[in-house]
Amino acid sequence: MIKVADVTKEFKNGKEVTTVLKGIDFSVKEGEFVAIMGPSGSGKSTLLQLIGGMDIPSTGRIELDGEELQTKSEKQRTIIRRKDIGFVFQNYQLLPTLTVYENITFPLHADRQKVNPDEVQELLKAVALTDYEKRFPHELSGGQQQRVAIARALIHKPAILLADEPTGNLDRERSSDILDLLSSFHQERGQTIVMVTHDMFAAGHADRIVLFKDGVIETEVQREDEDYAEFLSRFMA
Amino acid sequence: MSVKHSLLALLYERPRHGYELKTGFDELVQSMWPLNAGQVYTTLDRLERDDLIESPGNDQKDRKLYTITEKGVETLWSWLEEPVERSLLKDEFYFKYLCASHVDYEDKQQMIQAQKQTMIKDVLHLTQMKQQMNRSGNDTMRMLVEGALLHLEADIKWLDMIAKD
């Protein structure tokens, strides 16, 4: 579904060139939940922006379902992004003058798509905000605002959900709610998710953790299916 | 893990026979720690010998019943009051790492990396376990798993510190 091949990304500031990604090879299968971890400046958010088509790599290829992003114009990438990608950010990025319902349906209006009220209600129920549709963002807690942002990111049924530090502004309990919500979309609806986080607790909810360090992949760890009894005896030993 | 004190706690609740103590223990720890019937009966023998429990006789099905004595209650209470010591400065990996330094082992960074991968895998598995517990409404042992996850987070940060050192 996502293929990143030998990708580098440089940023120029005058004569100074900073290489943020140094030859990244990485892929995500359909229905996978992958967490990208690493310290600040390790390149993890830059990779997320490249996958989301918000920028293009300096060298290398990025494919979404076999379609190369780096050869597309900005306008073409925007069309792909609106169709295939949902974004969730650390600071929610809700529109303050719009209600919960209007925020969630905003991407459909922006893309001149018809709103199906039943689908909106179903999504509101999934994010446990059924009674909040007429509220404004400032009337909600941080965790509730992030749930609105998740619903907004999924309203157009994107193939891929990209989440950049989705629990970065939340305490552990609220983080847990958000991560359980993302896990339920992944497990029950097969949603493909790529999440950037610096938090091991958040990353543990994924199927696979990819660790970034200084612009390269340091290591990748995949969860393996284990027999529950064996699994217990290993932890209890 | 003190089988002795868990049996005293179960007998404090009410008199029970051996099999009930085994099932009571399994329920207490949600079957997460294995305990065989043999361990229950040898522990009961010792507790009876030390006057911490006694038997008022057999039940209708001729099974030997046990009750806690006053001395048993005192023992249980002082155990509950006593803080638990933890082996904070005993770490198997660090011991191995020290030995590696001693023999000029060249792949110490690889050792750290392999240890880190194992710990990350444990984070993935324990998080899954926590989610299963949430779904099944098993709140009793959830905090144990939460604690293990917090320890693992700290251990992974600690490995990064060793790697930089």
Structural domains of chain A in order of their starting residue, each with its CATH number: 2-236 (3.40.50.300)
Report the pLDDT value the prediction gives residue A233, as an integer from 0 to 100.
67
For residue A205, the chain B residues in CB contact (below 8 A) are: 127, 131
Asked whether A161 and A178 are in contact (CB, 8 A), the reply is: no
Q: Note the pLDDT tens digit of each residue in A98-149.
A: 999 999 999 999 888 899 999 999 999 999 999 999 999 999 999 999 999 9
- The answer, yes or no, to whether residue B16 has pLDDT greater than 80, is yes
Give the span between the Cα atoms of B94 and B165, in whole angstroms.
Answer: 13
Which of A200, A206, A224 shows the shortest C-beta gap to B153? Answer: A200
Asked whether A45 and A20 are in contact (CB, 8 A), the reply is: no
Q: How confident is the model at residue B123 (pLDDT cuts 50, 70, 90)?
A: very high
Q: Which of residues 41-80 of A touch B (CB under 8 A)?
A: none
- The answer, yes or no, to whether residue A231 has pLDDT greater than 70, is no
Tally A–B CB contacts below 8 A: 56
Hey, is the C-beta of A149 within 8 angstroms of any chain B C-beta? Answer: no
DSSP 3-state assignment of A106?
Answer: helix
> What predicted TM-score, i.e. pTM, was given to this entire model?
0.87
Phi, psi of A7 (to 5 degrees): -85, 130
* b/e burial code for range A124-142 (CB count within 10 A of at least 16 → b): bebbebeebbeebbeebeb
Hey, is the C-beta of B58 within 8 angstroms of any chain A C-beta? Answer: no
The continuous run of DSSP H or E covering B93 comes out as helix B92-102
Give the span between the Cα atoms of A237 and A163, in whole angstroms.
Answer: 36
Contact B117 A231 (CB under 8 A): no
Q: How confident is the model at residue B33 (pLDDT cuts 50, 70, 90)?
A: confident
Hey, is the C-beta of B2 within 8 angstroms of any chain A C-beta? Answer: no
Q: Note the pLDDT tens digit of each residue in A151-205.
A: 999 999 999 999 999 999 999 889 999 999 999 999 999 999 999 999 999 999 9
For residue B131, the chain A residues in CB contact (below 8 A) are: 180, 183, 205
If we measure between CA atoms, which residue out of A20, A17, A12 comes closest to residue A42? A20
Q: Which of residues 14-33 of B touch A (CB under 8 A)?
A: 32-33
Cβ neighbours of residue A188 closer than 8 Å, sequence gap 6 or more: none
Give the span between the Cα atoms of A19 and A43, in whole angstroms.
Answer: 9
Q: How much is the mean pLDDT over chain A?
A: 92
Enumerate the domain spans of chain B. Answer: 3-81, 92-164
Nearest-Cα residue of chain A relative to residue B157: A200
For residue A35, the chain B residues in CB contact (below 8 A) are: none
Q: How confident is the model at residue B135 (pLDDT cuts 50, 70, 90)?
A: confident
If we measure between CA atoms, which residue out of A214, A215, A181 comes closest to residue A47? A215
Q: What are residue A35's DSSP bridge partners?
A: A195, A209
Q: How far is B37 from chain A (nearest CA, A)?
A: 18
Contact A200 B117 (CB under 8 A): no
Contact A221 B125 (CB under 8 A): no
- The answer, yes or no, to whether residue B133 has pLDDT greater than 90, is no
Q: Note the pLDDT tens digit of each residue in A73-100.
A: 999 999 999 999 999 999 999 999 999 9
Choose from B36, B126, B127, B160 for mutation: most chain A CBs within 10 A.
Answer: B127
Contact B32 A211 (CB under 8 A): no
Q: How far is B72 from chain A (nearest CA, A)?
A: 28
- The answer, yes or no, to whether residue B41 has pLDDT greater than 70, is yes
Asked whether A74 and A11 are in contact (CB, 8 A), the reply is: no
CATH 1.10.10.10 fits B3-81, yes or no: yes
Give the span between the Cα atoms of A120 and B34, in whole angstroms.
Answer: 48
Give the span between the Cα atoms of A35 and A204, in whole angstroms.
Answer: 8
Kindly state the tokens that stand for B33. Answer: 């720690």
CA angle B83, B85, B89 (to 5 degrees): 155
Q: How far is B52 from chain A (nearest CA, A)?
A: 29
Hey, is the C-beta of A231 within 8 angstroms of any chain B C-beta? Answer: yes
Phi, psi of A232 (to 5 degrees): -65, -45
Q: How confident is the model at residue B118 (pLDDT cuts 50, 70, 90)?
A: very high
Write down the ipTM of this complex.
Answer: 0.87
Report the pLDDT value the prediction gives residue B38, as an integer from 0 to 100.
93
Q: How much is the mean pLDDT over chain B?
A: 92
Kindly state the tokens that stand for B63. Answer: 């099974």
DSSP for B122-133?
A: HHHHHHHHHHHH
Q: How confident is the model at residue A232 (pLDDT cuts 50, 70, 90)?
A: low
